[in-house]
Amino acid sequence: MARNGVIGSSVPRKEDESLLRGTALFVDDVARSGTLHACIVRSPFAHAKVASIETAAAEGAPGVEAVLTARDLPPGLRPIPMRMFTSGPLNDYLQHPLARDVVRYSGEPVAVVVAESRYAAEDAADLVEVEYEPLPVVLRPDDAVAPGAPLVHERPGSNRAGGFTIEWGDVDRVFAEAALVVEERIECGRHAAVPLETRGLVAEVDRLTGVLTVFGAAKIPHVNRRILASLLELPEERVRLVELHVGGGFGARGEFYPEDFLVPFCALRLERPVAWTEDRSEHLRACNHSREQVHDAALALDADGRFLALRDRFLNNTGGYVRTHGLVVPGMTAALLPGPYRWPAYRCEVNQVVTNKTPAGTYRAPGRYEANFVRERLIDIAAHRLGVDPVELRLRNLIDRSEMPYATGTHTDGHPVVYDSGDYSRLVGLTLERFDRTRWLAWKEEAVAPRRRGIGIALFVEKSGIGRWDYARVEITSDGGARVFSGGASVGQGLETVLAQICAEGLGVEYERISVVHGDTAVVPDGMGAFGSRATTLGGSAVFRSAARLRERVLELASEHLEIAASDLIVRGDRVVARGAESRSVTLAELHELSRPARVLDRGGEPFLSEHDYFLSEDMTFPYGVHCAAVEVDTETGEVELSGYTVGYDIGRAINPVLVDGQIVGGVAQGVGGALYEELTYDEEGQLVAGSFMDYLLPTAGEAPPVDVLVTEDAPTPRNPLGAKGAGEGGAAAAGAAIANAVADALGAEPTRLPLTPERIVELARGAAG
């Protein structure tokens, strides 16, 4: 492919100017005259029958326009559907926009108040009288599947909403005959993505066109337009979703939630713009949670430390309902639990379990943060029992580069997992060298009581580019630049920058002259959005192909104009020049003029320089990485200080290395949160106790460690023209595993549960000392 050096260079972000100057447009900045404000009335009970709802007092409150309950929604309204990893039986567990007869988690919407201001709406929400008849609550997934557990959903008659088993080899026999078996219950705590910007929507009906317009879309505008249109029984063309600046998504923001139906529905019903900005306490109770899994997992090894089998039965706590992700999270756990190792025998039993907690969905490295913790913890425990260096034990069992592409035997949503490329042992070596393991081993010995020190390593294979296609169009603009229309979405990751870089490389136009449009379904006809580390690999590949096609058309038109063979022309900067005779040129602005209908139709030409293309990847791509952590633990207070942190990540090709670094460093910070700080704790009644930032502890700049990032490009993927694998999730993916392994090394104890709170640390230290 053509290379002009824009790909691989850390050009300044296109997004930064408006963000840094404060001129960005977030959804709460959208002002429409006559806007009404919605407030959602949420259930205070985790599980209860809704006996009656009395709205008269609220309706009579000052400034109130409407109070809607489930009775006011269209009869026959379907629940919010799954959009991926769907499974028939799960349809019995979907959520309706407003609770009808039963509420199944504290925070479930039961009514909407729409008023002249958010103040008036909240005052009136206090006046909505809901009579609840409390039902027994079940919160832990193992309790939920125990015989006699209260049913979260009565009709399907089970709290196991779905699941499946992946298996090969004679697992039971291998375990029976293995020299060493390590078996543990390993639990990952419930935590959540918690983007800086909470969700928000402004919905209005365009008076001119009758089109319902919804500002505040994120992640998957086109997918959500389809869902919203279908729930409202409108043609897709009557619904427009618009993505503005988005302050982070991480999997949670942008999925289709009850409010994504309710706010547009109110705007249609009341024929006024309706705005809703989620506040933080709502966000923590309403937006998808993630990560809560309980594993009973076991590892079988021979006497030489060779892995013989991996066995796991786990429960994924998906909360009160199955939301849009269907089986994504537990499915990803089962698919990627094998990691970078060979497993002669494998069994993973997946159980998607409902409980009376907030529904759960994806969060950066969904299902893998958990899987990597489980597998890498088991491996360290095995190493300790065998008396083998944990690194050495891993190296003995890695898939070799000569085995690529490597079919793991697992699958995602029925699609086989086949690792595309990788040299795992090489990256382990490079990362340990970069981390300077020898130096940290010496550092460890200098710990002074009551502090102890340890180092931990964790390996992982990520996946990227789920939802295998995307769309792009590229055009030459009247000022002689180029404009990209992408089906991708920006959640703050630098989409515009990266797509402009790819366009610059494919087309030859300067990076500075390229702009990127995305996220408005009225302007971009189709797309798959931003999730699963897909926007660069799939969205970028679509841009690259469109740009390459456009380049041919530009050269053709220039060739006619300059009367020079297209093969002797190149696009350079703002013009097309003749090779070796650069005075002979035509600017792109001139070519744009030459492409107007009046100039080309007579000759049977196609007006305007614009090309679109879809890109379909044969499969996902599989980046891989290594996390190394050095911790110092205070055995009296339970404080864990991260003294060193290195991530090695091979992503095939880094389009913008600084942005890749940012992805990894941010991911580590979130991974640290799940390892040490963040937990959505519930009390016995099912109330979220960690319901504000006072109790839900996000790591701040004070807690996030300096992260040394090593990005390698040893294994480009053959599955897209860029060679790039997604970089979004590797920073989070193995942080819990590496930190827990480092704590284990420091304390000489084996933690099996995240987060490692100070109290758990103190208990582990005491247990090890005793």
Partner 1 sequence: MKPPPFEYDDPGTVEEALALLAEHGDDAKVLAGGQSLVPLLNFRLARPERLIDVNNVGELDYLRVGDGALRIGALVRHSALERSDEVAAAVPLLRETVRFVGHVQIRNRGTVGGSIAHADPAAELPVAMAALDARFHVRSSRGERVVGADELFVTHLTTSLEPDELLTEIEVPLPEPGTGWAFVEFARRHGDFALGGVAALLRLDDRGHCERAAIALLSAAPTPVRAREAEGFLLGRPLDEQTGREAAALAVADIRPSGDIHGSSEYRHGLIEALTRRALSAAADRAKEAA
Residues that bind partner 1 (CB under 8 A): 118-119, 122-123, 126, 279-282, 450, 636-639, 677, 679, 681, 689-690, 692, 694-695, 697, 699-700, 702-703, 757-759, 762
Written as six digits, the tokens of 681 are: 């704790």
CB of 703 to partner 1, least distance (A): 6
CB of 628 to partner 1, least distance (A): 23
CB of 44 to partner 1, least distance (A): 12
143 or 703: whose CB is closer to partner 1?
Answer: 703
Integer Cα distance of 339 and 337 in angstroms: 5
Integer Cα distance of 241 and 236 in angstroms: 10
Nearest to 459 by CA among 513, 487, 423: 423
CB of 700 to partner 1, least distance (A): 6
CB of 758 to partner 1, least distance (A): 6
CB of 118 to partner 1, least distance (A): 6
CB of 729 to partner 1, least distance (A): 25
Integer Cα distance of 643 and 631 in angstroms: 5
For residue 320, give the DSSP letter.
Answer: T
109 or 422: whose CB is closer to partner 1?
Answer: 109
CB of 159 to partner 1, least distance (A): 25
For residue 56, give the DSSP letter.
Answer: H
Integer Cα distance of 106 and 360 in angstroms: 13
CB of 759 to partner 1, least distance (A): 4
1 or 689: whose CB is closer to partner 1?
Answer: 689
10 or 681: whose CB is closer to partner 1?
Answer: 681
279 or 552: whose CB is closer to partner 1?
Answer: 279
Integer Cα distance of 434 and 670 in angstroms: 22
- CB neighbour list of residue 593: distance below 8 Å, 6 or more residues apart: 478, 599
CB of 357 to partner 1, least distance (A): 15
249 or 699: whose CB is closer to partner 1?
Answer: 699
Alpha helices in 614-748 (DSSP H): 657-672, 730-733, 735-747
- Strand 753-754 and strand 180-188: the pairing is parallel
CB of 694 to partner 1, least distance (A): 7
Q: How buried is 586 (Cβ within 10 angstroms: 0-12 exposed, 13-18 middle, 19+ buried)?
A: buried
Provide the 3-class DSSP secondary structure of residue 477.
coil
Q: Which long-range contacts (CB under 8 A, 24 or more apart) does 28-35 make?
A: 28/200, 28/277, 29/244, 30/202, 30/215, 30/216, 30/244, 30/275, 32/202, 32/204, 32/273, 32/275, 33/273, 34/272, 34/273, 35/202, 35/272, 35/273, 35/274, 35/275
Q: How buried is 167 (Cβ within 10 angstroms: 0-12 exposed, 13-18 middle, 19+ buried)?
A: middle
18 or 119: whose CB is closer to partner 1?
Answer: 119
79 or 674: whose CB is closer to partner 1?
Answer: 674
CB of 117 to partner 1, least distance (A): 9
- CB neighbour list of residue 82: distance below 8 Å, 6 or more residues apart: 90, 91, 94, 322, 323, 324, 325, 326
257 or 677: whose CB is closer to partner 1?
Answer: 677
379 or 633: whose CB is closer to partner 1?
Answer: 633
Biggest CA–CA distance in the chain, Å, is: 91
Phi, then psi, of 383 in degrees rounded to 5:
-60, -45
Integer Cα distance of 735 and 376 in angstroms: 11
Instruction: Determine how many CB atoms are found less than 10 A away from the CB of residue 616.
Output: 11
Residue with tokens 């700080």: 677
539 or 751: whose CB is closer to partner 1?
Answer: 751
CB of 199 to partner 1, least distance (A): 14
Q: Write the DSSP assignment of 252-267 as a string of letters.
A: TTTS--HHHHHHHHHH
CB of 736 to partner 1, least distance (A): 17
CB of 639 to partner 1, least distance (A): 7
Between the alpha carbon of residue 584 and those of residues 476, 568, 577, the distances in Å are 20, 11, 6
Q: Write the DSSP assignment of 556-612 as a string of letters.
A: HHHHHHHTS-GGGEEEEBTEEEETTEEEEEEEHHHHHHHTSHHHHGGGTPPSSSEEE
Which of left, alpha, beta for 692 (phi over 0: left; psi -120 to 50: alpha)?
Answer: beta
392 or 759: whose CB is closer to partner 1?
Answer: 759
28 or 526: whose CB is closer to partner 1?
Answer: 28
CB of 230 to partner 1, least distance (A): 33
* Cβ–Cβ under 8 Å, residues 387 and 591: no
Provide the 3-class DSSP secondary structure of residue 203.
strand
568 or 703: whose CB is closer to partner 1?
Answer: 703
Written as six digits, the tokens of 458 are: 């964790």
Residues 68/71/73/79 CA torsion (nearest 10 deg)? 120
167 or 703: whose CB is closer to partner 1?
Answer: 703
Sign of CA dihedral 656, 658, 662, 664: positive
142 or 639: whose CB is closer to partner 1?
Answer: 639
CB of 61 to partner 1, least distance (A): 11
Residue with tokens 């985790």: 46
520 or 634: whose CB is closer to partner 1?
Answer: 634
